[in-house]
Amino acid sequence: MSQYQGSITSFLNTPSPDTPSQEDFIQPSRKKIKHKRKKTSWIWAHFIELTDNNESFIICQVLKEDGTACNVKLKYDESTGNGTGHLWSIHKITKDGKQSEDKQQKLN
């Protein structure tokens, strides 16, 4: 290889001061910011939310026949399905209110 070929190769492989480095092309990671939305579901009239060790739970506040709160603790994953299922299966409560005994027997 001649003296000129070596310097040309070196010149081609050396970035100029105006050439952006690889770091300039790497986009900084964008963290997703979680915004708390207002809870609009009908189930929130019957539950309170609790966070324990970075896990969310909902606690049923429906009063039992003896006047004490149900206090069943259900896992909450931003969905109201667990709460809705509990309200229906245990307390017979729907979005429209508590089912009467007559209506409940007709459904069975």
Per-residue pLDDT of 87-107, as tens digits, reads 999 999 999 988 765 554 444
pLDDT at 50 over 90: yes
pLDDT at 75 over 90: yes
pLDDT at 29 over 80: no
Do the domain assignments include residue 33?
A: no
Residues pairing with 60 in the sheet: 47
Do the domain assignments include residue 12?
A: no
What are the structure tokens assigned to 98, written together? 């508590």
Do the domain assignments include residue 89?
A: yes
Domain with 59 in it? 40-95
CA distance 86 to 72: 9
Do the domain assignments include residue 45?
A: yes
CA distance 96 to 106: 17
Tally of structural domains, the chain: 1
CA distance 104 to 48: 27
Do the domain assignments include residue 32?
A: no
Do the domain assignments include residue 15?
A: no
CA distance 39 to 22: 45
Do the domain assignments include residue 101?
A: no
In this prediction the pTM is: 0.58
pLDDT at 16 over 90: no
